[in-house]
Structure 1
């Protein structure tokens, strides 16, 4: 005897008609009638008698209504207990480290989805350079890290996000470079560059530059791009970055020019292998995985 069928029977017993119960239960009358007939067959006894377009309970039906009410009440209470325990479990704070990248939007979507289901969840976001975020992940100061490739993830569990980040130069609008459709390796010769402090990024750019006998002219380094903007506007140098970071900047004074051949990397969601995650962090990872599956579908 299924709980669902008991709910059907209990609703009919209280409403008194198949049509009224079907409307409440949002199923068709023939389906409901068949379910009750199957229940009577299973119990080998009639549960209703028909009188003037209304159904009246037999003595067996009266007994079953009483037991059904007890069973359904207990079922609801049991389900609510588990819901309450789950809500209590999915409470507290999740700490996340993020580099500057377009995929922070993916992080926002995942957290939005989590908070909609578990409003008592709070989050703490630390924004910084990849090395800082990596260090905080190593020390256990954050639960999850959103980092930009290239990065060594051998020591972590990781999930590569599908949205790629395109690299290019952030230049002043009044710079001749702003008229370029792309920036080639030849354009980079003797160009004053402001580049991330991460050595992985230095290596990536050198591989792309592909001029073995020439060295890039790096005049400065940064950990967060915001502080480089005055230097770009005063023509001290141009900043190597990803396009997603620039979308909130003043487009009337700054221009993003992509590299050619195109240079793209992915963002990676990472967490420590030797750390037990909180239920909140584990649930957030599940939602990231779901977003990935939907993006690849």
Structure 2
């Protein structure tokens, strides 16, 4: 006696109509009618009779219904317990690199889901600049990485994460700029600026300068923005960066001013092309795909 046939039988018994039951089961009405007829023939007993255009259970049908409910409940419970046991025994390690950004929270949520489903899986997070992370990814020291655009990803498979990162200027609260809620890109021309040393970011800032027709005064470059906080506080310069990397950081002494017109870029999840992923990494990657892939 197949579990599938018991499900078909119960659906017909509950709906009291073959067409409605077929829709609930996502199969065609002729298929369900044929399966129920063959089921009755295999049992050697009539399970339904028609009364006023509805299916009514026979005595044999009522007996089977009570047993079918018990069997299906036991089967579903066994499947759940087997899946729980499989997840408990599943193990492995995931190494992921992540830039400082709003999307760091996304990585945390995915890891929480992973270890919740698979308690034996362990993980390592490496935080750093995109350049540092890419180097480790290319050497095979990381399985996956979250990088901030603009970034060259031609050598990787990638998945664009939907949460955008907003660019702006980090200023001292003692600066005259702190009275503003935003800053125009054109107004950056007269401000001593600290910017990322990444080539892609430098190119993006140069394109802003050309679009505005004004030169920007870059007085210093950095790789990790937290090293820049004291420089901004001491008025050496104001730092260009993304809001997610500086939010809730020294808010009593520093202020983030978003650029206007608004500039936003995405983070991307990347992994090496043609590299065989471990089962644990494959599962973790699938969480991202299920959540964000169109």
TM-score by length of 1: 0.74
Q: Unpaired runs of 5+ in structure 1?
A: 10-26, 48-54
Deviations 1:130-155 (A, max 9, x none): 10011111111000010000011111
Q: In 1, Cα distance between the equivalents of 2:86 and 2:212?
A: 61
Q: 1:182 offset after TM fit, Å?
A: 2.3
Bigger shift: 150-159 or 210-219? 210-219
Q: In 1, Cα distance between the equivalents of 2:75 and 2:107?
A: 39
Q: In 1, Cα distance between the equivalents of 2:290 and 2:261?
A: 32
User: Are 1:31 and 2:14 an aligned pair?
Assistant: yes
> What is the match of residue 217 of structure 1?
217
Shift in CA distance, 291/73, structure 1 to aligned 2, threshold 3 Å: closer
> What is the match of residue 241 of structure 2?
241
Please state whether the residue corresponding to 1:116 is helix, strand or coil: helix
Q: In 2, Cα distance between the equivalents of 1:95 and 1:189?
A: 41
> What is the match of residue 261 of structure 1?
261
> What is the match of residue 107 of structure 1?
107
Q: 1:208 offset after TM fit, Å?
A: 1.5
Q: 1:211 offset after TM fit, Å?
A: 5.8
Q: 1:192 offset after TM fit, Å?
A: 1.3
The answer as to whether partners of 1:185 and 1:210 remain within 8 angstroms in 2 is no
The answer as to whether partners of 2:92 and 2:279 remain within 8 angstroms in 1 is no
Deviations 1:164-200 (A, max 9, x none): 1110001111111112232223321131111111011
Shift in CA distance, 211/32, structure 1 to aligned 2, threshold 3 Å: closer
> What is the match of residue 208 of structure 1?
208
Shift in CA distance, 284/42, structure 1 to aligned 2, threshold 3 Å: same
TM-score by length of 2: 0.74
Q: In 1, Cα distance between the equivalents of 2:165 and 2:78?
A: 49
Please state whether the residue corresponding to 2:183 is helix, strand or coil: coil
Please state whether the residue corresponding to 1:160 is helix, strand or coil: strand
> What is the match of residue 24 of structure 2?
none
Please state whether the residue corresponding to 1:248 is helix, strand or coil: coil
Q: 1:92 offset after TM fit, Å?
A: 2.0
Q: How many matched pairs?
A: 259
Please state whether the residue corresponding to 2:42 is helix, strand or coil: helix
User: Are 1:186 and 2:169 an aligned pair?
Assistant: no
